[in-house]
Structure 1
Amino acid sequence: MNASRASGRAAGHLVALATIVVWGVTFISTKVLLADFTPVEILLLRFLLGWVALWVVCPHALAVRNLKDEVLFALAGLSGVTLYFLLENMALTLTFASNVGVIVAVAPFFTALLAWRFLGDARPGGAFMLGFVVAIAGIACISRSGSEFALNPAGDGLALLAALSWAIYSILVRMLAARGYGSLRATRRIFFYGLVCMLPILPLAGLSIQAEALLRPVNAANLLFLGLCASALCFVSWTFSVRRLGAVRAALYIYLVPVVTVLTSIAVLHERVTWLSGAGMVLALTGLLISEWGAPGRARTAQKRDGPSPARGQR
């Protein structure tokens, strides 16, 4: 049993790391697409492709047991798909990208607080907080490297709300996993609600997607990457990681997103690494390790609230 649990946790860590690597690359892919598409158009196309792909892979309908679970799916789609990406994109138009990169990385802190407050996890301790501070300092170094960093209340506030939105999504995913819903079909239903929640903003976005732009090889490749890999595959793999590590430990890997983005920029865009960004990468990784060591464990009360752990039936 212990060996099985250790194996499950190891798989969770590896899958979380692989997911973050892909998500770190998405910034480069999105940057390419912004030449021909608006942020809302990219968001719509990305998750529409992901939703269709998940239906092709698994065409079976998901049987939701009750209205409460249906509401959880709807809230997950709203928080993790529509609100997170919409708030982040809006923040990028109002403040520096460096600000957004740092502020969104506080998501693990919000996740730990929400897990403590609503799921009965242990209260975040000193080691977790130390790791959080070290990681944020590293991310700040990466963001400051070659860019400006100044406070902008409107944009920075939206970025903070985006981080909170992702934390809420992680908690909801853990609650749904504890109710026994499989990762793939659960993700497909979350995407559906995410797309539904986008509908009210589409008339305001002024969509003008051109077939010529869609068929350009570079755009098609990047859209397929975002839709099939970064959305369909990675949201499923993120749910897998949350199942095995818990929402807090899985969220800690968000600290590595800026690190992956910098390394990808060096490899793909041939950008130069500065001593500040190099130091930042080391600090972000160190903060991750410290926070992982001090991450709050799951309390017994959480088992009572969430129900039996799905890990028993999955491993």
Structure 2
Amino acid sequence: MKEKSLLFTYGIIFFVVITWGLNIVMVKVLVEYFPPVTMTALRILLAGVVAMSMIVVSMKMRKLTKKEWIYTIGGGLLGIAAHHYFLTMGLTLTNASNAVVILALVPVTTSIFAVIFLGDRLTKWRLLGISLAFSGVALTQGGVQEAIALGDIYVFVSMVVQALSFIFIRKATVTVDPRQMTSMMLLIGAVGVLIVSFILEPGSLVYMVGAPWGVYVIFLISAVLSTAIGHFLFNAAIKRIGAGQTAVFINLVPFIGLVGSAIFLNEQVYWYQTLGFLIIVVGVLFGTGYIERTFMKKKQGNGPLAYKDRAG
């Protein structure tokens, strides 16, 4: 029974990872039909309303302290508003395949910020991983034209602000339920992007109608399934099997995005993008300290005390 429950949890994680990987592909489709900033604001707002409704129904809501509000607002403005604004604008100028590869840098960039702001230790192996990951992204940019390079810069900025937001999230979730924080961040971020849309795209709400029905289905899947429900399911999985095992699945997100962009958008994936992606994955495993922690656990497990326990 326990094994079936574990397999079910792994299945849930894999499902969430697929929706996250394909979300970039879905957003790329949406920016072809709708004003990008307005569409992003409405998509995040819908996700926030759904997520908050789930929190209210589950009775997991509580008042935040002043410090918790600061972390939540900071995370919402950076990780939701700024991240989605720059990502959406980037996808109007670059391919989805480029975007997913650049976003694969989020874990190692978060590690860098954790060293700077949280006092995490930067070992030689983590430094090697960070170097490898950024080298991989540099490799994926081979042969890219100037017009697309601007889009890549937008996506890179979106990656950096999202990584920085994880520092706020990490501080807040020490005392705040991650599900409550996620829903509040989505609503805060949606308001931020909505204000920007009124400035950059005045009167653009009228252009949100008239698209093919299939595009609205994609909009709903991206907002509700991928963004709102996806985060809830992933947080539930973390509680069941731990952050370490769930984090490994995150490395599949850019791979699925890369495959999805080739299948659904007919984007050509070049050899240097594939090679760069593989280098990034190796860099992420080292740069986040995952390889180092795993090796140290095995080393401790094979120590004299562990041997004595097995012999006894």
What is the TM-score with the length of structure 2 in the denominator? 0.72
C-alpha distance in 1 between matches for 2:92 and 2:29: 17
- CA RMSD, Structure 1 to Structure 2 (Å): 3.9
- CA drift of 1:54 comes to 1.8
**Aligned counterpart, 1:132:** 130
- CA drift of 1:106 comes to 3.6
Give the 3 Å change call, closer, same or farther, for CA 273–79 of structure 1 in structure 2. closer
Is the 1:99–1:149 contact (alpha carbons within 8 Å) kept by the matching residues of 2? no
Q: Deviations over 1:155-208 (max 9, x none)?
A: 6665443223111211122212211x2232221111121122224313222223
Is the 1:256–1:285 contact (alpha carbons within 8 Å) kept by the matching residues of 2? no
**Aligned counterpart, 2:275:** 279
**Aligned counterpart, 2:20:** 23
Matched, 1:148 2:144: yes
- CA drift of 1:218 comes to 0.9
- CA drift of 1:209 comes to 3.8
Q: Which ranges of structure 2 fall in alignment gaps of 5 or more residues? A: 295-312
Map of 1:227-238 to 2, 5 A cutoff? 227-237=223-233
Q: Deviations over 1:127-151 (max 9, x none)?
A: 223223333444444554xx61559
Q: Deviations over 1:61-87 (max 9, x none)?
A: 722241111121111111111011112
Q: Paired residues, what number? A: 282
Is the 2:28–2:91 contact (alpha carbons within 8 Å) kept by the matching residues of 1? no
**Aligned counterpart, 2:298:** none
Q: Which letter maps to 1:262?
A: L
Bigger Rg over Cα? 2
Q: Deviations over 1:98-121 (max 9, x none)?
A: 775555444333311322233332
Is the 1:26–1:230 contact (alpha carbons within 8 Å) kept by the matching residues of 2? yes
Q: Which letter maps to 2:25?
A: I
- CA drift of 1:282 comes to 3.2
Q: Which ranges of structure 1 fall in alignment gaps of 5 or more residues? A: 1-6, 297-315
Identity of aligned residues (%): 24
SS in 2 for 1:208: helix
Is the 1:255–1:284 contact (alpha carbons within 8 Å) kept by the matching residues of 2? no
Relative to structure 2, which stretch is displaced further, 132-141 or 195-204?
132-141
Q: Deviations over 1:226-269 (max 9, x none)?
A: 111221123345656888438xx95x876654422221133334
SS in 1 for 2:205: coil
Q: Which letter maps to 2:291?
A: W
C-alpha distance in 2 between matches for 1:153 and 1:104: 15
